[in-house]
Amino acid sequence: MLSSRMRSEPWRAAPFLLPLLALLAAWFVWPLAQALTNSLHPNTPQGIDAGQWTLANYARIADPLYAGVVVRTLRISALVTAISSLLVYPVALATTRLGPRREALAILAYVSPWLVNTLVKALGWNLLLRPTGLVNAALGEIGAGPLRLMLNETGVVIALIPGHFMFVLLPVWAALKGLDPALGWAAGTLGASRAGVFWRVLFPLTLPALIAGLAINFIMNTTAFAIPMLLGGLRNETASMLAYRVNLVMLDWPFGGAVAVVLLVFTLLLVWGGQRIATLAVPGPRA
Amino acid sequence: MIAAVNALVLAFVLAPIVLVVWMSFTPAAFFALPTGQFSLRWYREALSYPGFVDAFFLSLELAALAAVLALAAAFLAAYGLVRFRPPGSGALTALFLSPLLVPAVVFGIAMLQFVNRIGLYNSLFGLVLAHAVIVCPYAMRSLEVTLRAVPEEMEWAAMVLGPNRMATLVRVTLPLCARGLLTAFLFCFLLSFSDVTVTIFMAGPSLQTLPVRLYTYMSDRVDPTVAAVSSMVVLITLALVLLAALLGGVRRLVTR
């Protein structure tokens, strides 16, 4: 009875929802809206000219000066996502076979790079990849190298992989765990080889999870900031570094706002697209 | 075969973190892998550098304030959603989780332009609220699960015995959620404590948090002092995560 009284007065939820709504409205929705309107005004030496409206800030992103940054960002991100997609199945399958205790530890280990501060990882990769770093020292021992492994795109790709691997691993691992263990066995009794079981049973059934994970991974790569900055260097500018330069060095907020809006729209499209493809990928009932 | 790949990838993922901690104990004046001799000289160095010490305390303060603020707002909101099921709950939940969808760079740019416009550039207040926004989806997700696990009958029983809803919330519901609140606090604290990007974009010169200070330092030079500071950061992270794991909250936050 008490419960039905509560349900019939849903407006009583309002005071509970209000603080969080206020916080998000004032410090999240409003600032984003303001960046959007800033991006539609021209920048003048006196500041933002709010009297005029323009799309010129968006056209500037296509300028050859900045288009190279876009292409580089997409290239690095695609490479990281592709390598992650190759690594994910061996890792996920091996992890599910470890037994509960070691499995939990392995998952925690794969999640840890995401929990540990990016700068710690950047420092670690710097120590490994720099000209006098551990990798080149090891190569020197066997008479090879030295290789140029950082302050270029190679360094960025290497350092981004582990940091964002978890976004692919967790969905695929969870999807594999969710499958009936008898599936592989059943396919085996019907004559499928181990590769056949994987390609014709496990892979198609976990493909939606993989696609959703890859989309998130790709976004995390395109919007990464500290790793590209510290391992790629200023000469290998990526989207986030450009956003930093435009907003904090050039102080051109209308153009900076346009960069933000484009990155946000791109992100939302990928999340939405990833989930749509994921639902289309497997016809019929899904786990 | 796949076990070998797993071991290699695991090593690849953990190598940079392990290496930083290992090298921070070098007795040498440069980066070297200490084998026989270990020293704390770089920790002494780090702790006597006021830039890092001040930044550390600022980060602690910021993370604690942001986490408490986000938890308070998210707890109330989760309570409102779970107990009253107002119309549009789905849309409200989506809004509360939406900061997850906005990349840190984008939010950083928006906050930079916003705090400058309203004259709060370089203020701790502005930064605390921004961090509260970043962590609130995690608090929300975790507290919704926590609240659903608290039997509503307990609240009814309390209310029948006299106290009104607010008193019941404070004296019955809140204690029942203590464990979930603590886990959520640890994660929110850790996420705020780790944020680099949003803070770099919007924080002014007097708000150099530990990650920002590390970033500026590393852009300039890399010496074992940063390794010592980084190792302490790793230690803090590890402690927070282990504590959260003991409270049983890791899986809830990393899987959906």
Which residues in chain B are closer than 8 Å to A219, comparing Cβ atoms?
Answer: 103
pLDDT at B249: 56
pLDDT bracket for residue A143 (50, 70, 90): confident
Contact B20 A28 (CB under 8 A): no
pLDDT at A114 over 80: yes
Q: List the 192-251 stretch of B: residues with Cβ below 8 A of A.
A: 194, 196-197, 200-201, 211, 214-215, 218-219, 222, 226-227, 230, 233-234, 237, 241, 245, 250
The answer to whether residue B133 is domain-embedded is yes
Residues B193 and B91 in one domain: yes
Mutation target for A interface from B31, B102, B105, B174: give the one with most A CBs within 10 A.
B105
pLDDT bracket for residue A286 (50, 70, 90): very low
> Which of A26-35, A52-61, A187-196, B195-204 has the lowest average pLDDT?
A187-196
Give one word for A145, left, alpha or beta, with left for phi > 0 and alpha for psi -120 to 50: left
Q: List the 101-130 stretch of A: residues with Cβ below 8 A of B.
A: 106-113, 115-128
Tell me the C-alpha to C-alpha distance, in Å, between residue A241 and each of A136, A237, B128. 28, 6, 24
Q: List the 178-197 stretch of A: residues with Cβ below 8 A of B.
A: none
Contact B113 A87 (CB under 8 A): no
pLDDT at A280 over 80: no
Mean pLDDT to the nearest integer, A219-242? 94
pLDDT bracket for residue A195 (50, 70, 90): confident
Structure-token pair, residue A259? 């960069």
Minimal CA separation from B211 to chain A, in Å: 7
Asked if A16 has any chain B CB less than 8 Å from its own CB, the reply is yes
Q: Using CA atoms, how far apart are residues B47 and B54, in angstroms rounded to an integer? A: 10
Contact B17 A113 (CB under 8 A): yes
Burial string for A245-266 (b: 16+ CB within 10 Å, else e) reads: bbbeeeebbbbbbbbbbbbbeb
Count of structural domains within chain B? 2
Q: Using CA atoms, how far apart are residues A269 and A281, in angstroms rounded to an integer? A: 17
Element (H, E) at A102: helix A100-115
E strand residue ranges, A114-266: none
Residues B155 and B212 in one domain: yes
pLDDT at B230: 93
The answer to whether residue B124 is domain-embedded is yes
Quote the pTM value.
0.90
The residue segments making up the domain with residue B97 are 55-254
Evaluate whether A234 touches A249 at the Cβ level (below 8 Å).
Answer: no
pLDDT bracket for residue A196 (50, 70, 90): confident
Evaluate whether A127 touches A133 at the Cβ level (below 8 Å).
Answer: yes
Task: Give ipTM to 2 decimals.
Answer: 0.90
Angle at A245 between CA A162 and CA A30, to 5 degrees: 85
> Which of A38-47, A138-147, A165-174, B121-130 has the lowest average pLDDT?
A138-147
Structure-token pair, residue A268? 């939302």
Residues B180 and B88 in one domain: yes
Which residues in chain A are closer than 8 Å to B211, comparing Cβ atoms?
Answer: 117-119
pLDDT at A141: 86
Domain assignments of chain A as residue spans, ordered by start = 61-281
Contact A111 B159 (CB under 8 A): no
pLDDT bracket for residue A285 (50, 70, 90): very low
Nearest to B215 among A13, A23, A119 (CB): A119
Residues B116 and B179 in one domain: yes
Strands A43-44, A47-48: pairing kind: antiparallel
CATH number at residue B247: 1.10.3720.10
Residue A46, classed as helix, strand or coil, is coil
pLDDT in tens, chain B (256 residues): 888 999 999 999 999 999 999 988 888 877 777 777 788 888 998 898 888 999 999 999 999 999 999 999 999 999 999 988 888 899 999 999 999 999 999 999 999 999 999 998 989 999 999 999 999 999 999 999 989 988 888 888 888 777 777 888 888 888 888 888 999 999 999 999 999 999 999 988 889 999 999 999 988 888 889 999 999 999 999 999 888 888 865 555 444 3
Count the Cβ atoms, other than its own, within 10 Å of residue B62. Answer: 24
Residues B63 and B152 in one domain: yes
Mean pLDDT to the nearest integer, A194-215? 89
Structure-token pair, residue B33? 């892998």
Looking at CATH, the fold of the domain delimited by A61-281 is given as MetI-like fold (1.10.3720)
User: Looking at per-residue confidence, does A101 or A75 come out higher?
Assistant: A75
A&B contacts, CB < 8 Å: 261
Mean pLDDT to the nearest integer, A192-198? 83
Q: Using CA atoms, how far apart are residues A159 and A228, in angstroms rounded to an integer? A: 9
Residues B27 and B129 in one domain: no
pLDDT at B152: 81
Average pLDDT, chain A: 88
Element (H, E) at A117: none
pLDDT at B196: 93
DSSP string covering chain B, please?
-HHHHHHHHHHHHHHHHHHHHHHTT--SSS----SS----HHHHHHHT-HHHHHHHHHHHHHHHHHHHHHHHHHHHHHHHHHHH--TTHHHHHHHHHGGGGS-HHHHHHHHHHHHHHTT-TT-HHHHHHHHHHHHHHHHHHHHHHHHHHS-HHHHHHHHHTS--HHHHIIIIIHHHTHHHHHHHHHHHHHHHHH--HHHHHH--TT---HHHHHHHHHHH---HHHHHHHHHHHHHHHHHHHHHHHTT-HHHHH--
The answer to whether residue B117 is domain-embedded is yes
Nearest to B103 among A90, A117, A223 (CB): A223
pLDDT at A30 over 50: yes
